[in-house]
Chain A
Amino acid sequence: MTTLSPINSSSEEKSEEQVVNEQEHGDHRLFGLAAFLVADGMTFAGFFAAYLTFKAVNPLLPDAIYELELPLPTLNTVLLLVSSATFHRAGQALRKDEAKLCQRWLLFTAGLGLAFLASQMVEYFTLPFGLTDNLYASTFYALTGFHGLHVTLGAIMILIVWWQARQPGGRITSENPFPLEAAELYWHFVDGIWVILFIILYLL
C-alpha cells in the first residue's frame, strides 16, 4: 500500500501530448468577456422585468406626467445601429491589415457613440419629468442612465483602442486583435440592449 508517487509523465505518451500541452491555453479572454456580458445582460433583464411589471401592475398616478417623444430616440437607434456597422468595418479592416482604414472606422464609431450620448442628453433636458417625479420617470432614467453608462464606457474603450492602434509599435494588429475584438463585442452588446430598450420603453 505504498502511496502513489507524483506523476512523472511516461515517455511513450509524452511526444504528442506534450506538444499539445505546451500550447495549452489559447486566448479565452473573449469567452470570458462573453460570459460577463451574459451577466450584464441579466442586470438589464432584471430592470426590464421590473419596468414591465410596474407597467402591468402599477397605474400611473393621476397627476403624474410621463410622456416620451419618438423622433430623438429613433435617431439614437439609427446612430447606434450605424455605429455597430462601422465598428464591424473597422474589425474587417484590421484583419486585412489596413491600419489607417481601421483607425478611421474606429474614430467614426466613437464619434457616433458620442453623438448618441449628446442626443441622449438633449432628450434628458427636454423631458417634462425628472428622476423622482414618479415611478415611470424613475424607471425611465434608471434604464436609460444605466445604458448610457455602458455607452460612455464603450466610447472611452473605443477611443483607447483607437489610440493604441495609432501607436507605431503596433499594439493592435491582426496578430493581436483582442482589444479591438473585445470592444467590438461589447459595443454590439450595448447596441442590442438599446434596441430592446427602445422597443420596451418607447414603443410599447
Chain B
Amino acid sequence: MTTASQQTHQSSSGSLQPKGWLKYFSFSLDHKVIGLQYLVCGFIFYLIGGSLASAIRIELSSPMSDFMARDTYNQVLTLHGTIMIFLWIVPVVNGAFGNYLIPFYVGARDMAFPRLNAVAFWLIPPAGLMLITSYFITGAAESGWTAYPPLSITTPAAGQIIWILSVLLLGGSSIFGGINFIATILKLRRPGLKLMQLPMYCWAMLGTSILVVLSTPVLAGTLILLSFDIVAHTGFFNPTLGGNVIVYQHLFWFYSHPAVYIMVLPAFGLVSEILPVHCRKPLFGYSTMVYSIMAIVFLGLIVWAHHMFTSGTPPWMRLFFTIATSFIAVPTGIKFFNWVATLWGGRISLNSAVLFSCGFIANFVLGGITGVALAQVPFDIHVHDTYFVVAHFHYIVYGGSVFVIFSSIYHWYPKFTGRMLNEDLGRLHFLLTFLGFNLCFAPQHWLGLNGMPRRVAEYDPQFTFINQLSSIGALIMALSTLPFLWNVIQSAFKGAIAGDNPWEALTPEWLTTSPPPVENWTGMAPLVKEPYGYGIKEESIQIQSPDISDPENNKQ
C-alpha cells in the first residue's frame, strides 16, 4: 500500500522533476506532460509521414515509375502506412488526449500507473527513430504495413526485422497505455462519480483500451512468428516449408481491424466532448452513445476476415463476415444521428473546432457508406486492393481521426497553453484541409472502380489526369499544414490570453486553471455529474457542482 501511494504521489511532489520546458524532454510522470509529449511527438511523425505521402503523390502524378526507384517506392509506402498508424494516429487519439483528459474526467490527480505511463510514452520515440533510420542504413521494410508473407519473408530481411521490432515496441506501448486507461477509468474515479456520469470520451477510451488489450497481443505474437520465419527459417507462413500464408492474414487482421476502431473510437469520444460545448447543448442520447460504443467494440472483434474476401476464404466465412461487418453500421449510425441531433437547436459557434468536427462528420459518413459497400462480398471482389479501398480508409482515418485531432487541438489548445489560437488562421487551415483532402481522395474512388490497384508506382496512362488531380489535392493538404504550424507556434507566445475556461465548458478539465497545476486542482476535484448540462436550469447544476453557475447568471 505504501509503495502504491508513493508511486502515485511521486508526480505531485515533483521534486525530482525538471521544471519549465525541460520537463517535456524528461521522464515526467505528470499525465499532462506525457499527454503533450505524445501530441508533439506524434505531430512530428505526422510531418514525416506526410512528407512520405507527398513523395508518393509526386511519383503518382505520372504513370511511369520515374520519381524514385521501385523498391524505394515500396519502402516509402510501407513507412508512410506504419508511421501514420502506429506513430501518429494511435498515439495521439489515445495517448495524447487520453493522458491529458482522462484523469480530469474521472476526477483523479494522475493516471493509475504514472511510471508505466511514462515508460509507454518513451517506447515511442526510439521505435519511431529505429523505423525511420532503417531507411537510411539497411533499407526499410518494403512489404507494406500489412507485411504479408511470403513477400515479407523474401524481401531484404534487415529492414523487415527492424520494422517488426519497432511495431512490437509500439504495440507494447499501446498495451501499457490501454491497461493504464482501463485501471484509471474503472478504479480511479472520484468518490460519488458514477460510470454513467462520465464524459463520453471516457467510454470511448474504455472501449478502445479493451480492444487494445485484447487484440494487440495477437499482432505481437504473429510478428514474433513472422520474425522466426525470417531469422530462423521456420515455416509458419512459408508455403515452401509447409506453412500457411492465410493464417498470418487472419491473425494480422484480428489486430488490424480493431486497430481501425482504436483509431476511430477515441475520435468519436473527442467529438462528443467538443460539439456540446460549442453548441451549448447537452450531448444527445448519452446512454445510446455508450451502448453503441460497446456494440462497436464487440462487433469490431469479429469482423476481421472482411479484409480477406479475395484471399480464398470459404463462402460461409465470407457471408458471416459480411453480415457482422454490415451491422457495425447500426451503432455507428446511431452515433452520427445523435451528433446531428446535438447540433439541432443549438447555439453553434462556427469556430475552427466545430468546423473540423463537422468536416469529420461529413467525411466519415462517406467513409462509412463506402465501408458498408465494401463489406458486401460481391462488391468487394471487384474493388478489393484498389484505390477505392485507399480512398475509403483515408476517409476513415484522415477524414475521421485526423480531422478530429485538429478539432481537438483547436478546442483544448487554450487548456494546454492558456492562450487562444488565431481563429482566422484556423478557418483557413480548415478550408485548405477540407478542400485538399476531398480533392485528393474523392477521385480515388473512381480510380479504384476503373482498374487502378493500390500500392503501384506505375499505372495505366488513362488514369493520369485523375491522379494529377489527386496529387494537387495532396499538395493543398501539405500547404494546409503551414497556417496550422504558424498558428500553433506563434499563439504559444503571442496568442490572446485564454483565461481558465474560454468556452465556458462544464467538463471537469475546464474547472481549473489553464494550464492546470501539477495536481490538476488546487483544492479537491470537483464532482461533475452533468458534464453536458448546458441550458439546464441553474439550480440543478448548482447542486451537482457548487462552483459552476449558469454563465447567463454571471453576466450581470
A and B touch in the complex (CB under 8 A): yes
Interface positions of A (Cβ within 8 A of B): 1-10, 13-14, 17-18, 20-21, 24-29, 31-32, 35-36, 38-47, 49-50, 53-54, 57-58, 60-61, 64, 131-132, 134-135, 138-139, 142, 146, 175-176, 178
Give the number of residue pairs across the A-B interface with Cβ within 8 Å.
186
Known: A7-B526, A17-B527. 5 other contacts (CB 8 A): A1-B504, A3-B499, A4-B551, A27-B1, A35-B213
Find out whether the CB atom of B228 lies under 8 angstroms from the CB atom of A24.
Answer: no
Question: Which residues from A are CB-within-8-Å of B186?
Answer: 31
- A42 and B183 contact, Cβ closer than 8 Å, known pairs A1-B551, A5-B547: no
From 178 to 196 in chain B, residues with beta carbon under 8 angstroms from any chain A beta carbon are 178-180, 182-183, 186-188, 190-192
Find out whether the CB atom of B1 lies under 8 angstroms from the CB atom of A38.
Answer: no
Find out whether the CB atom of A176 lies under 8 angstroms from the CB atom of B1.
Answer: yes
Select from chain A the residue with minimum beta-carbon distance to B505: A4
Select from chain B the residue with minimum beta-carbon distance to A179: B3
Closest 3 CB pairs of A and B: A46-B218, A9-B524, A138-B234
Q: How far is the CB of A182 from chain B (nearest CB, A)?
A: 11
Find out whether the CB atom of A6 lies under 8 angstroms from the CB atom of B251.
Answer: no
- A sample of 13 inter-chain contacts (CB < 8 A) reads A1-B504, A2-B555, A6-B500, A8-B547, A9-B524, A32-B116, A35-B182, A35-B213, A40-B217, A43-B221, A132-B232, A135-B241, A138-B235
Q: How far is the CB of A96 from chain B (nearest CB, A)?
A: 19
**How far does the alpha carbon of A135 sit from the alpha carbon of B241 in the complex, in Å?**
7
Find out whether the CB atom of B500 lies under 8 angstroms from the CB atom of A5.
Answer: yes
Count of B residues near A, CB < 8 Å?
Answer: 71
- A134 and B242 contact, Cβ closer than 8 Å, known pairs A6-B512, A29-B4: yes
**How far does the alpha carbon of A135 sit from the alpha carbon of B225 in the complex, in Å?**
12
Query: Of A39, A45, A54, A58, which contacts B179 at CB under 8 A?
Result: A39
Find out whether the CB atom of A135 lies under 8 angstroms from the CB atom of B236.
Answer: yes
Chain A, interface SS category: helix
- A27 and B236 contact, Cβ closer than 8 Å, known pairs A4-B501, A53-B250, A135-B243: no
Q: How far is the CB of B547 from chain A (nearest CB, A)?
A: 5
Find out whether the CB atom of B190 lies under 8 angstroms from the CB atom of A21.
Answer: yes
Interface check B63, CB cutoff 8 A? no
Q: How far is the CB of B316 from chain A (nearest CB, A)?
A: 14
**How far does the alpha carbon of A153 sit from the alpha carbon of B243 in the complex, in Å?**
30
Question: Which residues from A are CB-within-8-Å of B8?
Answer: 25
Question: Which residues from B are CB-within-8-Å of A8?
Answer: 522-523, 547
- A38 and B511 contact, Cβ closer than 8 Å, known pairs A6-B500, A142-B228: no
Select from chain B the residue with minimum beta-carbon distance to A36: B179
Find out whether the CB atom of B217 lies under 8 angstroms from the CB atom of A42.
Answer: yes
Interface check B26, CB cutoff 8 A? no
